[in-house]
């Protein structure tokens, strides 16, 4: 529109004046105006030709496609940035959840460990109390066997079947104790015969679950200790202290300990025989 207005002014400048019949401008200026007007019309015709219009449309289409691509690229970049931020947020949340889980797990493990330690201390105190309450030697063995008998065949209010079961349990306990002591007497130097795992299933079934069974072993010289992280009842191998007490020129300290253990076996066998004698008499 501005170009059209300018051309209109140029045309007015080259037209004769209404009063004098002469152009408003001089000859040189009129020539310039005419030249510009002709160039304008030439350019206008060129621009309005089919080829130019087609080219312009193509350029416009290319520009539009470029703008669309740039817009799509910006949208994609924005989406990628949003996705990156979302992933980062999720990672941060996941890390926080994992930290909380680990902290809770560590707290739980610590509570479990503290509970186990407290339980282990309490159990160790009970074991020390039990061990200190048992009299060592023959008197302690006899007393332990009396307790064992009282808590098996000596229970009151049993019917015939329960009495038979109790008698069998008592017999199994005595036989198991006899076997343990006899093996230790025969092989005092072998540690496997002087160590009993406290929670061994067979030991608990035959001896450990009855009051008096563990007490008998303590009376014979066993004591509670941890062996390779396992609570066990252990009897020491004949030591120098025993040798000093029992030493003779014709016999070693080990033989003295064996004799003491053989005496404990005799006490045990005597109780077994008394059990069966009383049963036969009944």
Tens-place pLDDT, residues 11-47: 666 666 554 556 666 667 777 777 777 777 777 776 6
The full DSSP string for the chain is -HHHHHHHHHHHHHSBPTTTSSBSS-HHHHHHHHHHHHHHHHHHHHHTSHHHHHHHHHHHHHHHHHHHHHHHHHHHHHHHHHHHHHHHHHHHHHHHHHHHHHHHHHHHHHHHHHHHHHHHHHHHHHHHHHHHHSPPSHHHHHHHHHHHHHTTTT-SS--HHHHHHHHHHHHHHHHHHHHHHHHHHH-TT-GGGSEEETT-HHHIIIIITSTTHHHHHHHTT-EEEEETTEEEEE-PPP-HHHHHHH-BTTB-HHHHHHHHHHHHHHHHHHHHHHHHHHHHH-
- Tokens 């059209």 -> residue: 4
Q: What pLDDT score does 260 carry?
A: 46
Identify the residue with better confidence: 43 or 193: 193
pLDDT > 90 fraction of the chain, expressed in percent and rounded: 21
Q: Say whether pLDDT at 100 is over 90.
A: yes
pLDDT of residue 184: 79
pLDDT at residue 264 is higher than 80: no
pLDDT confidence of 240, banded at 50, 70, 90? very low
Provide mean pLDDT across the span 92-114: 94
pTM for the model: 0.52
Distance CA 189, CA 235 (A): 11
Q: Which of 59-63, 75-79, 230-234, 265-269 has the lowest mean pLDDT?
A: 265-269
Distances (CA, A) of 140 to 87, 126, 271: 73, 18, 14
CA distance 126 to 231: 13
Distances, alpha carbon 37 to alpha carbons 9, 11, 43, in Å: 10, 8, 10
Q: Which of 22-31, 217-226, 240-249 has the highest mean pLDDT?
A: 217-226
Q: What is the pLDDT of residues 142-156, one digit of tens each?
A: 888 888 888 887 666
Q: Look at residue 3 in the predicted model and tell me its pLDDT.
A: 66
């Amino acid at each position: 529109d501005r170009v059209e207005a300018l051309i209109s002014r140029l045309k007015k400048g080259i037209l004769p004046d209404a009063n004098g019949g002469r152009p408003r401008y001089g000859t040189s200026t009129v020539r310039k105006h005419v030249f510009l007007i002709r160039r304008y019309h030439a350019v206008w015709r060129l621009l309005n030709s089919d080829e130019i219009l087609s080219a312009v449309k193509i350029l416009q289409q290319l520009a539009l496609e470029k703008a669309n691509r740039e817009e799509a690229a910006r949208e994609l970049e924005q989406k990628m940035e949003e996705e990156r931020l979302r992933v980062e947020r999720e990672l941060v949340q996941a890390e926080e959840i994992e930290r909380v889980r680990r902290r809770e797990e560590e707290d739980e493990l610590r509570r479990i460990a503290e509970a186990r330690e407290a339980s282990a201390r309490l159990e160790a105190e009970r074991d020390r109390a039990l061990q200190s309450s048992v009299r060592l030697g023959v008197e302690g063995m006899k007393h332990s066997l009396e307790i064992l008998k009282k808590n098996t065949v000596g229970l009151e209010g049993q019917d015939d079947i329960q009495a038979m079961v109790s008698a069998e349990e008592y017999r199994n306990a005595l036989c198991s104790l006899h076997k343990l002591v006899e093996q230790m007497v025969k092989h005092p130097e072998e540690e496997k015969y002087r160590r009993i795992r406290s929670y061994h299933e067979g030991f608990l079934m035959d001896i450990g679950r009855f009051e008096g069974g563990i007490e008998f072993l303590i009376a014979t010289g066993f004591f509670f200790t941890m062996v390779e992280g396992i609570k066990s009842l252990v009897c020491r191998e004949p030591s120098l202290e025993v040798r000093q007490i029992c030493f003779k020129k014709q016999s070693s300290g080990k033989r003295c300990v064996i004799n003491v253990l053989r005496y404990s076996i005799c006490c045990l066998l005597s109780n077994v025989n008394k059990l069966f004698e009383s049963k036969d008499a009944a």
